[in-house]
Structure 1
Amino acid sequence: MRMSAGLAETPEQLATAYAHVAQGLGSYEGFVFQKLDPPIALSWLPVNLGYEERELLDHFICTASSTLAIFEPDKNEFLGLLVRLALLDSSPSSVAVLQSALALSSFHRHGLQADVFQFKARSLRTLITSCNHSLESPTVIQHIAACMILCHLEMLGMPNELPLWFCHLIEAKNLIDNVGVVSQNFQGEFSRLQDWVEYHMVMSRFSLRHWHINVEPIKEIRNIAPVEQETCLVQKVRAVSHWSHEILQYLHVTFEMIQKPTDSLYHSDEYENSLRCLENRITSIVLLAPEGISDTISGLSTAWVSTMELFQLAALIYLKRASRNFSGTSPQIDTMVERAYVLLDDLETFNPAFPLLIIGCEARRDGQRMRILEHIERAMKDSSLRSRSLLGLQNILQKIWVQDDLAVDYELDYLNKLDAVITSYRIMPSFV
């Protein structure tokens, strides 16, 4: 039975109510998404905002680009899309995006106050309301944007008994899948939202692989889009679109393919060949500057190429470690780690958690550990809101280093080490 917005009081109830209603969007197919025209200027708004809400909106515009985990080089352009979706009109779907943005901004500016919960509840209620109206072209896009902003809000420290960030992420992914959004309909600036969702989905695969609390309730979630493992060909990946960045496609394959020594396929020639194939494909990724970035901002292109190389190195290190489940010394991995440190030193800031985690796991000496902690602290200064999740990353690394230091006369299992530390968290951590 569906829960009405009037009966849903807690965040979990509101999220559940929206999940039930959103499932009904699956019957709508064949949208032709049109480019959204922004308001003439931010001095004009389609909704009436009080002084404090307007200040929060301005704060969101100023800080979101350094707060949201976005997998693309020009975060300001992406922020412009979110603002246009929030201010498109006074419809419930626009209000949902706006209220979610205000919740995130209020959390950033004032901490966990009552306003954060109020804005969040309004966003969820208006999402439910907009599902009852006729479904027009921008509505699904706005639902995806609102879900992802709420996903980030939950990641950053909202008190919950469940990993609601993952629930919002799943809703965004289901909206993309269920309404029949295909490549020809999801082009241009709207493809940025799809990339945003898929980046988080791939990284959530890593979390699900190593977080084993409440295994039975999330078993179905783990199998949302399984990979057929007979080969490591990209076309076998069902959860990641073929037009997503190559590194995301191969990371998804890696997280799905890795077998434990107790698995029957672990010692098979087929598994060995698949690992070799996957390693070759990751190594062969051509790191190019993104299209459409002018020469005047070439620094942005350089930073993006370095970022992609860090993801590539992290993917290779994880593949080598996890596929053989060993934590011992490896000259080849040491070389990749040193290259990663060079790239980190060249970048002003770098805050994607997965590469920092995998590279940080390789720090054996105090000097190496201080070096990775300095990079994390630099990223924390760049975004005071994301510092909460980066502080969690610091804690995870320190727990891993303690395990390494205690293993004096024996070698730790790489997978078990990650499992033990990540599972020690009551709420499933994210690594975006």
Structure 2
Amino acid sequence: MNQGLGAHEGFVFQRFGPPRALSWLPINLGYEERELLDHFICTAPSTLAIFEPDKNEFLSLLVRLVLSDSSPSSVAVLQSALALSLFHRHGLQADVYRFKARVLRTLITSCNPSIESPTLVQHVAARMILCHLELLEMSNNGSLWYCHLVEAKYLIDNAGVDSQNSYGEFSRLVAWVDYHMVMSRFSLRHWHRNVEPVEEIQNSAPVEPETCLSRKVKGVSYYSHEILRHLYITFEIIQKPTNSLYHSDEYENFLRCLESRITDIVPSALEGTSDPVSDLNTAWMAMTELFKIAGLIYLRRASRNFSGTSPQIDTMVERAYLLLDDLGTFNLTFPLLIVGYEARTDKQRMRILEHIERAMTSSSLRSLHGLRSILQQIWVQDDLAMDYELDYLNKLDAVIGSYQIIPSFA
């Protein structure tokens, strides 16, 4: 019997053992804060959404940034980690706000136009951890997660990362930020402010437009995986039929070229690994293929605003289900949304819901909790449209736009 990749240690199903006491810290921590740091080390893989093959290795980078020195920027990373850990452990408490306030004060006072590494690296890490904390809270200030993300991206852009030959470990943080920027571009494409929430979505809250929503940032860097770079272009370039460009030969040629580039992506093993068929490599290749499939489905549907049946898309969907079965647990939301959108029978819908339920047992990502409601709304619309096909883009606009705050699909 095939147990699937979920029976082994791998990308999305890694488990940490009990937290080990850290033998040395460059700063003094009380007992409770020490416990919170240990808890962060244990729970970060299920709390942080990252496009990485090895979450253990990425977590080690964050811990090194916490323990690197006793500078204000290093303390900011620590305080953000403690805030996330405290929320994950006990929910929203006054101490969470206290930790967040400390982080923001430290980031503001230690930031200057000539900020350099390692301070820059620590600022980006602290902002991204705060971003994830705000995603978990989804409070009345729900757009704050996007503001922290934009601020992290702004720091990277100002550092001129694209003009540098090597940023070492910083490149991994850049890729982390870029992954969330790509997924937020998808959200913003279909999200509309001041839209009344639908009854099925309970996690919405009104929010005033923030300055960060209109702040201009650069596109993704070359540090990001090629599928993410192509997804970003896809979310940027898709036009609606009402746009005059939609009917131009130039637009059609660009779409064909983009589809060809995504199709030509070959999921490959990690560089520098001795065993190309290890569990880690196999899981990484499966994950990148899932994003490739989701990207192709979205591109074909959205670029032609087509919701009808397609044998080619049906084949890709079935391949995606096989990959999900092999992975056992997969908790990144975008591929689950796009593949789940295609579910037309009760059997297919139960199949994708089972994958979501399985992911929720091992992950606290807030996006997974809203995904089920989003898919059910899409399916209801499909079932009500018995004699005609609904507009693909309008369906996404209606469902995602029903949120009063920006949803994340990272």
Q: Distance between the aligned counterparts of 2:61 and 2:174, measured in 1? A: 13
Q: Which runs of structure 2 are paired with 1:9-20 in the superposition (5 Å)?
A: none
Match of 2:260 among 280, 293, 296: 280
Which range moves more in the overlay, 114-123 or 261-270? 114-123
Which of 225, 228, 233 in structure 2 is aligned with 1:253? Answer: 233
Distance 1:300 1:47, change over 3 A: same
Find out whether 1:330 has 2:322 as its counterpart: no
* Structure 1 unmatched ranges of 5 or more: 1-40, 226-237
Cα offset, 1:186, TM superposition? 4.3
Q: Measure how far apart 1:203 and its partner are.
A: 0.7
Of residues 190, 196, 213, the one that matches 2:193 is 213
Matched residue, 1:416? 394
Change (3 A) 1:184 1:133: closer
Task: Spell out, residue by residue over 1:133-156, the C-alpha distance to the aligned partner (whole angstroms, 9 max, x if none).
Answer: 984531010000000000011111
Aligned match of 1:224:
216
CA distance, structure 1, for counterparts of residue 396 and residue 271 of structure 2: 37
State the 1:165 CA deviation: 0.6
Specify whether residues 302 and 310 from structure 1 end up closer, same or farther in structure 2 by C-alpha distance, changes over 3 A only: same
**Per-residue deviation, 1:224:** 2.5
In structure 2, the partner of 1:62 is 42
**Match of 1:53?**
33
Q: Is the 8 A contact 1:208 1:222 kept in 2?
A: no
Q: Could you tell me how far apart the structure 2 residues matched to 1:249 and 1:329 are? A: 28
CA RMSD, 1 decimal: 2.1
Q: How many Å separate the matches in 1 of 2:359 and 2:105?
A: 34
Counterpart residue number, 1:103: 83
Partner of 1:126: 106
Deviates more, 1:78-87 or 1:153-162: 153-162
Aligned mates of 2:276, 2:85 — CA distance in 1:
31
Aligned AA for 2:249?
D
The 1:250–1:135 alpha-carbon spacing in structure 2 relative to 1, beyond 3 Å, is: closer
The residue type equivalent to 2:395 in the other structure is: K
1:392 aligns with 2:370: yes
Matched, 1:289 2:269: yes
Give the aligned residue type for 1:429.
Answer: P
Q: Contact conserved, 1:96 with 1:126, CA < 8 A, in 2?
A: yes
Change (3 A) 1:193 1:280: same
Q: 1:217: how far off?
A: 5.0
Identity of aligned residues (%): 76
RCO comparison, higher one (Cα < 8 Å, 6+): 2
Q: TM-score, normalised by structure 2?
A: 0.88
- Displacement of 1:326 after TM fit? 1.8
Q: Deviations over 1:175-230 (max 9, x none)?
A: 001122345364322210000000111111100100011599579846825xxxxx
Q: Is 2:93 aligned against 1:93? A: no
- Tell me how far apart the structure 1 counterparts of residues 372 and 135 of structure 2 sit (CA, whole Å): 16
1:76-118 Cα shifts (integer Å, max 9, x gaps):
1111111111121221101110010011111111112222111
Distance 2:273 2:97 in 1: 38
Query: TM-score scaled by structure 1?
Result: 0.83
8 A contact 1:151–1:166 mirrored in 2 = yes
For the residue of structure 2 that corresponds to 1:397, the secondary structure is helix
- Report if the CA contact (8 A) 2:26-2:68 is conserved: yes
Paired position in structure 1 for 2:242 = 262
Q: Is the 8 A contact 1:73 1:304 kept in 2?
A: yes
Counterpart of 2:4 in structure 1 is none
Q: Quote the offset at 1:162 in angstroms.
A: 4.3
**Residue 408 of structure 2 corresponds to which residue in structure 1?**
430
Answer yes or no: is the 8 Å Cα contact 1:100–1:150 preserved in 2: yes
Alpha-carbon spacing, 1:297–1:267, altered in 2? closer, same or farther (3 Å): closer
Aligned-partner Cα distance in 2 for 1:83–1:176: 20
Question: Which amino acid counterpart does residue 216 of structure 2 have in structure 1?
Answer: I
Q: Does 1:165 align with 2:145?
A: yes
SS at match of 2:244: coil
Q: Give the alignment partner of residue 345 of structure 1, picking from 325, 332, 335.
A: 325
Instruction: Indicate how the Cα distance of structure 1 residues 203 and 296 shifts in structure 2: closer, same or farther if over 3 A, else same.
Output: closer
**Maintained 8 Å contact 2:107/2:123:** yes
For the 8 Å contact 2:270–2:276, the answer to whether it is kept is: no
State which of 244, 247, 253 in structure 1 corresponds to 2:224: 244
Letter in 2 for 1:120: K
| Offset at residue 293 of structure 1 (A) | 3.2
C-alpha contact 2:135 2:145 (8 A) present in aligned 1: yes
Consecutive unaligned residues in structure 2, runs of 5 or more: 1-20, 196-207
Output the CA distance in 2 between the equivalents of 1:72 and 1:344: 17
Q: AA paired with 1:403?
A: Q
> How many angstroms apart in 1 are the aligned matches of 2:210 and 2:140?
16
Cα separation, 1, equivalents of 2:230 and 2:276 = 32
1:406 aligns with one of 361, 367, 384: 384
CA distance in 2, matches of 1:48, 1:220: 35
Count of aligned positions = 378
Provide the rounded CA distance (Å) in 1 between the counterparts of 2:391 and 2:162.
42
Match of 1:28 in 2: none
Q: Is the 8 A contact 1:46 1:88 kept in 2?
A: yes
Q: Counterpart amino acid of 2:375?
A: L
* Per-residue deviation, residues 16-71 of structure 1 (Å, max 9, x unmatched): xxxxxxxxxxxxxxxxxxxxxxxxx9221111111111111001111112221111
How far 1:130 sits from its partner (Å)?
A: 1.6
Would the aligned equivalents of 1:210 and 1:423 in 2 still touch at CA under 8 Å?
yes
Give runs of aligned pairs for residues 305-320 of structure 1, distance below 5 A: 305-320=285-300
CA distance in 2, matches of 1:99, 1:175: 19
Q: 2:47 & 2:215 partners in 1: Cα distance?
A: 30
In the alignment, what sits opposite 2:201?
none
Q: Measured at CA, do residues 266 and 343 of structure 1 come closer, stay the same or move farther in structure 2, by a change above 3 Å?
A: same
